[in-house]
Amino acid sequence: MIKSVFLIFLIVRIAQTHIVEIENGKIIGAEYNDYYAYRGLRYAKAQRFRIAKPYEEKWNDTKEFFNYGHECAQYDHLTYTYVGQEDCLFLNVFLPKSVINSKEPVPVVAFLYGGAFMFGSSNYYHPEFFMNHGKMILVTLNYRLGILGFLSTEDNILPGNLGLKDQVEALKWVQRNIKAFNGDANKVTITGYSAGAASVHLHYLSPLSKNLFNNGISHSGVAFNPWVLVENSKEKAYKVAEYAECPFDDHKEMVKCLKKKPASSLVMLAKKFQPFLYNPFSPFGVVVEKPHKNAFLTDLPQKLLKNGNFNKRPWIVSMTKDEGNYPAAEFYGNLKTMNEIDTNWEKLAPSILDFDELTTDSEKKSEVSRIIREFYMHKMPISRENYQAFDDILSDRLFKHHSVVAIQLQSKWSSSYYYYFNYKSLMGVGEIMSKTNDNLGIAHGEDVFLIFKSGLRHLPYSDEELEMNKKLLNFYYDFAKSDTPKFAGLTIEQSTPDNCKYLQIFSNEKFSMKEIDENFGNVNFWDKMEKMLLHSNKKHNDEL
């Protein structure tokens, strides 16, 4: 009797739930007031240090997908601990009820999380705002990180970029399956934050990503940022092998040995490559691969753009006023750390500003560090009282400078747009990273956390923030649907190589188009600094 009642309950429950049939079989998701959430859909099977294989298991019954899958194994920046699992290649589809019976398939947004290619998870970005908007399907996905996702021996034994190739596999899954959710495979907008934003830009440059997306939005990151491309990846792989007590004179034997090590022991080796707190924050990241069938990135990003050798789709870049909040806010939260940076600037600056590996000339690194400090700080100490000037150093070096260079190059070949976010929310990355309530400006990803709800925020959203949220989501929808971005009715003007324009957003009422001048990101200054560091490096001279 009890069994019969349970079966009747289950049949009724399934009948009332929206069933979707993907290539593997029928699925149901968790139901909410305005949407269905299909969480933990496996798109591929991770194989350590190998390209992931598409997940091809079939089933005849109807499977439930209510819960998130595992986040990928990582050395977490917020907790400084090992979290996650290797079995992590899952994605999530969030389907507004309002689009289920739409006569035309609807635009799709595929989101790539940030975390310096070292940490992060799709599970942290909640869909409620997108679902309240009700006109787009949202896909979020996991990809491998750190040593497990980006280790490279610079040859065909372990070419690298596995995390990016995971993203490609997820985007292929979207192309094959999104129609089942009434999504339009021809209108997939890829978007991301920080390392996810740089990933978006890299998909424009990759032959593997051709025809997998229609346009993209990069929030707080581009492929040219100094923390994206990794220097000396082969030497780092050797160091990983040495720490793991594996041979490294034979790459096949090295990888064979590393495959036998516990994931946690490999992941936590990242600490040895980040000598100052979590800096440099991307010791394992993107590499240019030797030519082979599955190469994701075949040349330096700047060279690919200069030559027009990329996927010419519309692109939006966004930056916030105080991008350097990551990592400056974490330093701000600890007076001892701020004092250490002030006292040992010439020693620490190359790691914090990610130019330590650009030259072996220690005197040149010290000279450049002194010039940078004088240019921004003048004679002021690096302290909480002078935080804005310190933040500006990190903002310009780690984010803004190369965003301008990227938009100038890309706009020669395809529609390119820029917006500059100068609106302060009640709680952003600055407050989270510093663990203070001090106003540290418009932080890294401030706009992203007005688009996605986050478990890291404990404050309710104000009416003003919710209005900004609506404007940003309408902006997303206009771009996803028509390739033409608008903000509150204002069409954003395209940039050109000679006239870089951007939309500056101060508030719900105050926003306007501006032109980028030489002071924006201090582009000329940083061009000069890079040339000082790279004057003897032919590879980088070609790039610049």
**Tell me, what's the pLDDT at 275?**
85
Indicate the residue type of 376. Answer: Y
pLDDT in tens, the chain (544 residues): 444 444 433 433 444 579 999 999 999 999 999 999 999 999 999 999 999 999 999 999 999 999 999 999 999 988 889 999 999 999 999 999 999 999 999 999 999 999 999 999 999 999 999 999 999 999 999 999 999 999 999 999 999 999 999 999 999 999 999 999 999 999 999 999 999 999 999 999 999 999 999 999 999 999 999 999 998 999 999 999 999 999 999 999 999 999 999 999 999 999 999 988 888 989 999 999 999 999 999 999 999 999 999 999 999 999 999 999 999 999 999 999 999 999 999 999 999 999 998 888 999 999 999 999 999 999 999 999 999 999 999 999 999 999 999 999 999 999 999 999 999 999 888 888 899 999 999 999 999 999 999 888 888 999 999 999 999 999 999 999 999 999 999 999 999 999 999 999 999 999 999 999 889 999 999 999 999 998 745 444 444 4
The residue behind tokens 């034997």 is 253
> What are the angstrom distances between the C-alpha of 248 and each of 145, 205, 251, 256, 326?
22, 31, 6, 10, 35
C-beta separation of 84 from 73 below 8 A: yes
Annotation says 540 is catalytic: no
Helices (H) and strands (E) in the chain, counts: 19, 21
C-beta separation of 301 from 202 below 8 A: yes
C-beta separation of 346 from 391 below 8 A: no
C-beta separation of 41 from 94 below 8 A: no
Indicate the residue type of 242. Answer: E
Q: Where are the alpha helices (DSSP H) in 178-321?
A: 195-205, 233-243, 251-258, 263-267, 301-306
Among candidate residues 203, 401, 444, 540, the one labeled active-site is: 444
Q: Where are the alpha helices (DSSP H) in 396-490?
A: 401-410, 429-434, 463-482
Q: Which of 140-165 are b and which e, b meaning 16 or more Cβ less than 10 Å from the residue's Cβ?
A: bbbbbbbbbbbbbbbeebbbbbbbbb
Structure tokens at 434: 């510093």
Work out the angle at residue 434's Cα, subtended by the Cα atoms of residues 278 and 281, and round it to the nearest 5 degrees.
Answer: 20
The per-residue DSSP string of 53-109 comes to EE-----SSEEEE-S--PPBPEE-TTT-SEE-BS---EEEEEEEGGGTT-SS-EEEE
C-beta separation of 313 from 213 below 8 A: yes
3-class secondary-structure state, position 113: coil
Beta strands in 208-289 (DSSP E): 215-219
What are the structural domain ranges in the chain? 1-290, 314-344+382-531
**Burial class of 24 by CB neighbour count within 10 A (0 to 12, 13 to 18, 19+):** middle
Q: Which CATH superfamily is domain 314-344+382-531 in?
A: Alpha/Beta hydrolase fold, catalytic domain (3.40.50.1820)
Sign of CA dihedral 169, 172, 178, 184: positive
- The span from the CA of 309 to the CA of 204, in Å, is 9
- The span from the CA of 506 to the CA of 49, in Å, is 45
Q: Using the 8-state DSSP alphabet, how is residue 207 labeled?
A: G
**Burial class of 388 by CB neighbour count within 10 A (0 to 12, 13 to 18, 19+):** middle
For 1-290, CATH number out of 3.40.50.1820, 3.40.50.620, 3.20.20.10, 3.40.1190.20 equals 3.40.50.1820
Same fold, 1-290 and 314-344+382-531: yes
The residue behind tokens 């581009």 is 222
Annotation says 199 is catalytic: no
Annotation says 203 is catalytic: no
**This model's pTM is above 0.85:** yes
**Tell me, what's the pLDDT at 34?**
96
Among candidate residues 71, 231, 323, 530, the one labeled active-site is: 323
C-beta separation of 214 from 186 below 8 A: yes
Nearest to 194 by CA among 452, 518, 522, 499: 452
Among candidate residues 121, 122, 152, 194, the one labeled active-site is: 194
Residues 6+ apart with CB under 8 A from 82: 73, 74, 75, 76, 264, 267, 268
